[in-house]
Amino acid sequence: MKRFRGFVVKEFYHIFRDYRTLLILFGMPAVQLLLFGYVLTNEIKDAKIAIYDPSKDVATRKITDKILSSGYFILEKNLNSVSEIEPVFRQGEVKLALVFETGFAGKLEKTGTARIQIIGDASDPNTANMLVNYATGIITNYLVSMNAKQVPSQIIPEVRMMYNGELKGVYMFVPGLMAMLLMLISALMTSLSITREKELGTMELLLVSPLRPSQIIIGKVFPYVFLSFVDACIILGLGNAVFGVPIRGSVALLLLESFLFITMALSLGILISSMTSSQQVAMLISLVVLMLPTILLSGFIFPVENMPWILQILCYCMPPKYYITIIKSIMLQGNGIVYVWRETLILAGFTSLFLTLSIKKFNVRLA
Amino acid sequence: MTDPENIIIVKDLVKSFGSFTANDHLTFSVRRGEIFGFLGANGAGKTTTIKILCGLSYPTSGELSVAGFDIYTQREKVKRNIGYMSQRFSLYDDLTVFENIRFYGGIYGLSRKEIDARSKSLMERLGFENSRNKLIRDIPLGWKQKLAFSVAILHNPKIVFLDEPTGGVDPITRRQFWDMIYEAAHRGITVFVTTHYMDEAEYCDRVSIMVDGRIAAMDTPDNLKLQFGAPSMNDVFIKLARG
């Protein structure tokens, strides 16, 4: 036990004397969270639009007012003819154009229908789609409010978004980021710290010493378990304080699940380090083999349900997917273990698989 | 296989990697307290043998006893009784001189008191008193090497294995290093050293010369020179290697 303590103390010296390690450990979570939280928002505000309104009557003016006062759009240009539409898009300033037909109010009055064309700039499909939806929504609202005086019976859907009322993107990013960063720190850092000993030749010395291989592994891994835990708390705390991401479920359960995930990632790190003895290769493997799937195939950014079946199968083999599901469920829906035991079990399965594999592989290396 | 005279006994050691045989039926023994030189060209199989003796690698076949313990079944006891220094000086660059000593002392189970006492006398002997808290990366190569050796014998092992300990250092430092080896031998530590510097072979009590995975000759340096009619160990080696 005393030997083991000395070993862990040494590991902490390594970590705290290397400012790059410290930066990755503590700078990255904070920076990433702030970046993702502020930059990657799905909401669009103040998009510039152009309007061609040959009618200029009561109805078109009211619709224009509604659109411009919504907060989503600002008027960039009033067009004088249809032929001006294409040039304003080409200049790239305008994201959306509204075209009213002539005699708009009159037609609406007489026939009950009048047409508005909404033109989006689909060179950026997501933005175009969203803006078109916003505009359509506003116009529909206007129609409903007009008809309310005339038509007695109508169905008005009342929408309520559960668990994330304002549809904040950051609610989604915090769980995803937790998975990504814990994976990165745990796997990358342990694989680097073990391969560094191999590169330096100190690993041989450790193996010659009376320390058992399992003691060496646990000693190397222990500091990172601790530090990853600190990181998890930083992300949760920042997410809560800066972005108001709630933790509705039990914090203890959340940390316990995180511990399980961290252990899984650490054993992956050991596994990587047993495959290579160079820090650079270890870094490359960690980044490419672990990070990309964590970002792309875990449901962090792209919904798994929309992927082709072959990728979906792949997604189900990704441990981060389960972890993200679990913490979303605990944080946002306030669920307890009753709702996430299945995912927890799968995650525990992954953990024991990788842990066994990595210890076996490490022992084999000695032969 | 305890033997009052021999501290390392190797019988028919074979180590092969696939079709390549690095150690081809080696049989030799090392006496208590001697400086045993394990010589050979690069790739002759020296490092393979030393790794097997230290428990870093398993032999394919053969009987081996190190410090009186069987290498297959009493590995932990073997490990407690040996010290090891590799070609690279195996100290942590980002730890200070004292922290390195404390760490290695710690993993060999020395108490805090023992570590303090031994590191104090060690630093006095090496003249390192003022460098106790310097980082390893800031001290010269020759110092690192001496420190690495001192650390390898900090726990008073019965045997110390030195794998090309003098690679890349100047002749004066090498001479000083050999003084330290003599001192260790004087304290009763058996020294098993590999090298490809033939002048160093002259300092050993006995040497074995490996060629292509086999022991081509084994005796005292003087007897070998007589036997091969060569003026120096270098000439002995060249005669053997050219076969």
Task: Give the model confidence (pLDDT) of A29-50 as tens digits.
Answer: 888 888 877 876 666 778 889 9
pLDDT band per the 50, 70, 90 thresholds, residue B196: confident
Q: What distance in Å separates residue A176's CA from the closest CA in chain B?
A: 35
**pLDDT tens for residues B88-123?**
767 898 999 999 999 999 999 899 999 999 999 998
Best of B50, B61, B78, B90 to disrupt the A interface (most A CBs within 10 Å) is B90
Q: What is the 3-state secondary structure (H, E, C) of A175-193?
A: HHHHHHHHHHHHHHHHHHH
Q: Is the dihedral of CA A277, A281, A285, A291 positive or negative?
A: positive
Distances in Å between the Cα of B14 and the Cα atoms of A167, B63, B70, B211 are 69, 10, 16, 15
Distance CA(A190)–CA(A256), nearest Å, equals 20
Cα-Cα-Cα-Cα dihedral of B226, B229, B232, B234, to 10°? -120
Q: Among A48, A90, A110, which residue's Cα sits nearest to residue A73?
A: A48
B230 part of a folded domain = no
A13 and B94: CB-CB below 8 Å? yes
Distance CA(A137)–CA(A132), nearest Å, equals 8
pLDDT at A45: 77
What average pLDDT does range B207-212 have in this prediction?
A: 90
For A7, the closest of B55, B94, B107 (CB atoms) is B107
pLDDT band per the 50, 70, 90 thresholds, residue B37: very high
B197 part of a folded domain = no
Q: Phi, psi (5° rounding) for residue A294?
A: -60, -40
For B108, the closest of A9, A200, A209 (CB atoms) is A209
Q: What distance in Å separates residue B220's CA from the closest CA in chain A?
A: 29
Distance CA(B166)–CA(B189), nearest Å, equals 19
B124 part of a folded domain = yes
How many CB atoms are closer than 10 A to CB A19? 9
B168 in contact with A at a CB cutoff of 8 Å?
no
pLDDT band per the 50, 70, 90 thresholds, residue A304: confident
- HSE-CB at A20 with a 13 A cutoff on CA atoms is 3
B149 in contact with A at a CB cutoff of 8 Å?
no
Distance CA(A258)–CA(A350), nearest Å, equals 14
Chain B CA closest to residue A204: B56
pLDDT at A367: 44
B104 and A211: CB-CB below 8 Å? no
B92 bridge partner residues: none
B101 part of a folded domain = yes
A→B interface, C-beta within 8 Å: 2-3, 5-7, 9-10, 13-14, 17-18, 200-202, 204-211, 366-367
The CATH homologous superfamily of the domain defined by A47-147: abc type-2 transporter like domain (3.40.1710.10)
A7 and B99: CB-CB below 8 Å? no
Q: Phi, psi (5° rounding) for residue B22?
A: -85, -35
DSSP code of B157? -
For B56, the closest of A2, A9, A208 (CB atoms) is A208
Distance CA(A77)–CA(A64), nearest Å, equals 13
DSSP letter for each residue of A277-311: S-HHHHHHHIIIIIIHHHHHSSSSSS-GGGS-HHH
**pLDDT tens for residues A247-265?**
898 999 999 999 999 999 9
Alpha helices by DSSP H, listed for chain A, are 2-16, 19-22, 28-39, 58-68, 85-91, 104-111, 125-147, 170-183, 189-200, 202-208, 213-243, 251-275, 279-285, 292-296, 309-316, 319-333, 337-366
A6 and B99: CB-CB below 8 Å? no
B72 in contact with A at a CB cutoff of 8 Å?
no
Q: What 3-state class would DSSP assign to A249?
A: coil
Chain mean position to CA B241 = 23
B32: its two tokens: 């208590």
Chain mean position to CA A107 = 47
Angle value at C-alpha B33, between B28 and B38, nearest 5 degrees: 40
A260: its two tokens: 């399980």
Q: Which residues of A touch B86 (CB under 8 A)?
A: 201, 204-205
Angle value at C-alpha A162, between A160 and A167, nearest 5 degrees: 85
Q: Which residues of A touch B110 (CB under 8 A)?
A: none
| Orientation angle between helical segments A28-39 and A170-183, nearest 10 degrees | 150
B170 part of a folded domain = no
Quick check: B181 pLDDT over 60? yes
Contact A42, A134 (CB under 8 A): no
Q: Among A255, A192, A194, A182, which residue's Cα sits nearest to residue A219?
A: A194
Radius of gyration of chain A (CA): 28
Distance CA(A230)–CA(A233), nearest Å, equals 5
Give residue B128's domain range.
Answer: 92-139+149-156
Which position has the higher pLDDT, B169 or B26? B26
What average pLDDT does range B126-136 have in this prediction?
A: 88
- HSE-CB at B69 with a 13 A cutoff on CA atoms is 18
Q: How many residues does chain B have?
A: 243
Contact A367, B17 (CB under 8 A): no
Chain A CA closest to residue B80: A210
A303: its two tokens: 């919904």
**pLDDT tens for residues A63-108?**
899 889 888 888 888 888 888 888 888 888 888 999 998 888 888 8
B88 in contact with A at a CB cutoff of 8 Å?
yes
Best of A4, A7, A9, A10 to disrupt the B interface (most B CBs within 10 Å) is A10
For A18, the closest of B55, B89, B94 (CB atoms) is B94
Q: How many helices (H) and strands (E) does chain B have?
A: 9, 10
B29 part of a folded domain = no
Chain mean position to CA B121 = 23
pLDDT band per the 50, 70, 90 thresholds, residue A109: confident
Distance CA(A60)–CA(A48), nearest Å, equals 18
B57 in contact with A at a CB cutoff of 8 Å?
yes
The structural domain count of chain B equals 1
DSSP code of A216? H
Distance CA(A159)–CA(B155), nearest Å, equals 74
Domain boundaries, chain A: 2-40+169-366, 47-147
A44: its two tokens: 């669009």
A73 bridge partner residues: A47
Alpha helices by DSSP H, listed for B158-219, are 171-186, 198-201
If phi > 0 it is left, if psi is from -120 to 50 it is alpha, else beta; for residue A112 that is: left
B84 and A17: CB-CB below 8 Å? no
A74 bridge partner residues: A48
pLDDT band per the 50, 70, 90 thresholds, residue A345: very high
How many CB atoms are closer than 10 A to CB A331? 24
Q: What distance in Å separates residue B16's CA from the closest CA in chain A?
A: 12
For A2, the closest of B56, B84, B106 (CB atoms) is B106
B107 and A206: CB-CB below 8 Å? yes
Average pLDDT of chain A is: 85
What average pLDDT does range A121-140 have in this prediction?
A: 86
Distance CA(A184)–CA(A285), nearest Å, equals 11
